[in-house]
Structure formats: structure tokens, C-alpha cells
Amino acid sequence: TNPFFRAGETALAATLGLVGKPAGEIFAALREAKNKF
């Protein structure tokens, strides 16, 4: 599934090192990582 729809999932947050952060911050980090891919 699309990872952008899973910003609230703990596993995705853990992968980004953002456990406990709001979904909006996780989404922003995921977008930034995509831009550097």
C-alpha cells in the first residue's frame, strides 16, 4: 500500500526514527526522504 497513507503507523515511524511524533511530522519526513531518493 501507499506509505503516505500510513503516516500514523508505528512501524513506519520507527523506520524513520520518529516514534511518538505526530502523523504530520512523519508524513513530512517521508516526503523529504522521497525527494532525496
**Domain coordinates in residue numbering, the chain:** 3-36
**Global pTM value:** 0.75
Looking at residue 1, its pLDDT comes to: 66
pLDDT, one tens digit per residue, over 21-34 is: 998 998 999 899 98
pLDDT, one tens digit per residue, over 3-24 is: 778 888 888 889 899 999 998 9
In angstroms, the CA 37 to CA 21 distance is: 22
Looking at residue 12, its pLDDT comes to: 86
Looking at residue 37, its pLDDT comes to: 81
* 19 torsion bin: left (phi>0), alpha (psi -120 to 50), beta (else): beta
Looking at residue 9, its pLDDT comes to: 87
Looking at residue 20, its pLDDT comes to: 93
What is the enclosing helix (H) or strand (E) of 8?
Answer: none
DSSP 37: -
Q: What cell does 13 get?
A: 515511524
At 27, the amino acid letter reads F
